[in-house]
Amino acid sequence: MQFKPTTILGLFDSSQKHYIIPVYQRAYSWDADNWNTFLTDLKEQVNGDNNYFYGNLLFETIKKDITYEVIDGQQRLTTLSIFFRAIIDVLKLRKEKEKFEFEPEIKESIYLKNAGNVKLRVVEYDQACFESVIVEGKEKFSTATPSQVRILKAKNHFKKELNKLDTSVLLKILNKVEETEITSIELAGKKDSALMFELQNNRGKDLTNMEKIKSYFMYQMYVYSSEEETEGNVAYVSNIFKLIYLIINDLKTLNEDSVLIYHCNAYVKGFNYRTLDDIKEKLIASKNKVKWIKDFADELHTSFSNIKKMDNSNDKYLKDLRNLSIPVFVYPFVIKGYKFFGDDNKKLNTLYHILEIAVFRYKLINSRADLISRLNEILTAFNGDLETLRTHFKDKFNDAYYWGDDRMYEYLDGYMYKNSVLNYLLWKYENHIQNKGYDINNGNIEDEQIEHISPQTPTDGDPLASGYEVTSENIYDEDFLEQYLNCLGNLMLISGSHNKSIGNIAFSQKLKSYKDNPLLNQQAEIKNYTEEEKWTKTSIGDRHENILDNFAVMKWSFDNVAVN
């Protein structure tokens, strides 16, 4: 292990030296707050007399004085390269109009590329973007990952902020960066790298839990491996995390730490999992710690791989879960489901169906009661038996009352306007009444709104139009307001333009508009409930009963899940 005090200029100023960020490291993750902190520090240092210290950078020596892998400091190194591109570009343009000493080609050869030697290589899936936008200085690139977007944004952010400053200040900032002090720590191999796992980023983002557990495992491999197996075991962990980080960059819905939590919910401590200490407790209690780490890393890779599969799946009930917005308790069940079912889409879809019913009830009722603790027993007991899982959900939901059959009926039978699942429910009802069983699959209508067939309020204070059930004073009675106005029988999906066009017109005119614009069957079916072109309590009650008893209650019953 070698500690080398140097400067930013000394770190880069070699025709052959270059740095590689291995793919098991986190991709570029700094954002505007980090970039602004970086610039603020520089401007403060320019105005002061003290030397600027940029912290420690930790490298694994691949080829002495030529090739180094970045173990710690990848965010700062990447930011430096982006900053150099930005300030070189700004000064290059100004030099065309102003007279000052500055050689952009020399700076590019020091910090970005000398002949064919690219000075910094980021994670391989971002390298093409980095070379195009930063090394070659091109303005556009078709970004494909969040980290590529951040690289491009960082460059544009620095150029925008630097353009606000006088040229003399920019030259002072460039000189200050070049003189900035750092300590380069060079390690001989993976074994030594593991010993330094506690090093943290300086003035950057905190390490993610994924990075912490990766480093912790590498260190434990050093502690518990036999001498002849240490290097290979440490490399084993880094290679598994290399595969994981390749997957992370493709994930569409979850970040790396969320997947780690859901994996630990599934396999470590159920929903009682809280921190990395829970993982460490399991490791300490294990008899063969090297094997335990390898098994955990392998399982974690599998979970990430399966979450990626979930991202790309179009299973029917998974699409429904997405439309409901998937709550956190779903993912551990899915992770275990993939373990037991592999790519058996039929069984996975059955699992999603059970979970869709649970999520619908959870969101419909929105109780303050703690659902997740009640699900822990179900999660830990889940071993791939879908019949048992369905029974467990049914029993637990009814035992808890809050999300049981009676409670669901009570909510569906009551005030439903503005309930978070109302639109979803009405789309599912639309599927139910479509001709020949045609599934519109939660379609969409322009500026989707909820229509009150009996209007909520008169327009501009005018009396209610004709055709609605009102008192002799032309107002709704108390019973109507409490029991009918905002119930399912009086609510319907409609486009914003249609809703605006009908307002609170007479019901006969409204009914005609439904017939003339039958965008959805639930609009066309209103005629079946009218009484001499009037919309009454009986009309609303009959439609309400049909939606409630002949559709919703059966649709979201756990008994409705077909388990084969």
The tens digit of pLDDT for each residue in 351-369 reads 999 999 999 999 999 888 8
Of residues 200 and 91, more confidence is placed in: 91
Is residue 202 predicted with pLDDT exceeding 50?
Answer: no
**Beta bridge mates, 182:** 6
pLDDT digits (tens, 9 = 90+) for 266-303: 999 999 999 999 999 999 999 999 999 999 999 999 99
pLDDT at 45: 80
Whether residue 382 contacts residue 527, with contact meaning beta carbons closer than 8 Å, is answered with no
Q: Decide: helix, strand or coil at residue 223.
A: helix
Q: How confident is the model at residue 457 (pLDDT cuts 50, 70, 90)?
A: confident
Crossing angle for the helix pair 316-324 and 345-365, to the nearest 10 degrees: 20
Whether residue 187 contacts residue 218, with contact meaning beta carbons closer than 8 Å, is answered with no
Look at residues 389, 444, 386, 410 and name the one whose alpha carbon lies nearest to residue 563.
386
pLDDT digits (tens, 9 = 90+) for 8-41: 999 998 888 999 998 778 889 899 999 999 998 8
Mean pLDDT of 413-442: 84
Backbone φ and ψ for 217, nearest 5 degrees, come out as: -65, -40
Whether residue 535 contacts residue 467, with contact meaning beta carbons closer than 8 Å, is answered with yes
pLDDT digits (tens, 9 = 90+) for 530-561: 988 899 999 999 999 999 999 999 999 999 99
Q: How confident is the model at residue 199 (pLDDT cuts 50, 70, 90)?
A: very low
Q: How confident is the model at residue 99 (pLDDT cuts 50, 70, 90)?
A: confident
Is residue 195 predicted with pLDDT exceeding 80?
Answer: no
Is residue 205 predicted with pLDDT exceeding 60?
Answer: no
Q: How confident is the model at residue 519 (pLDDT cuts 50, 70, 90)?
A: confident
Crossing angle for the helix pair 422-433 and 316-324, to the nearest 10 degrees: 150
Mean pLDDT of 525-533: 91
pTM given for the model: 0.80
Do the bridges between strand 181-187 and strand 53-63 make them parallel or antiparallel, or are there none, so unpaired? parallel
Backbone φ and ψ for 213, nearest 5 degrees, come out as: -70, -35
Following CA atoms 69, 71, 74, 80 in sequence, which dihedral angle do they give, to the nearest 10 degrees? -70
pLDDT at 203: 44
Q: How confident is the model at residue 201 (pLDDT cuts 50, 70, 90)?
A: very low
**Angstrom distance (rounded) from CA 173 to CA 188:** 34
pLDDT digits (tens, 9 = 90+) for 120-176: 999 988 999 999 999 999 999 998 888 999 999 999 999 999 999 999 999 999 999
Task: Using alpha carbons only, give the angle 299, 292, 238 rounded to the nearest 5 degrees.
Answer: 65
Percent of the chain with pLDDT over 90: 65
Of residues 422 and 519, more confidence is placed in: 422
- Range scoring the smallest mean pLDDT among 36-45, 212-221, 451-460: 451-460
pLDDT digits (tens, 9 = 90+) for 443-453: 678 889 999 99
Percent of the chain with pLDDT over 70: 93
**Angstrom distance (rounded) from CA 524 to CA 511:** 9
Mean pLDDT across the chain: 89
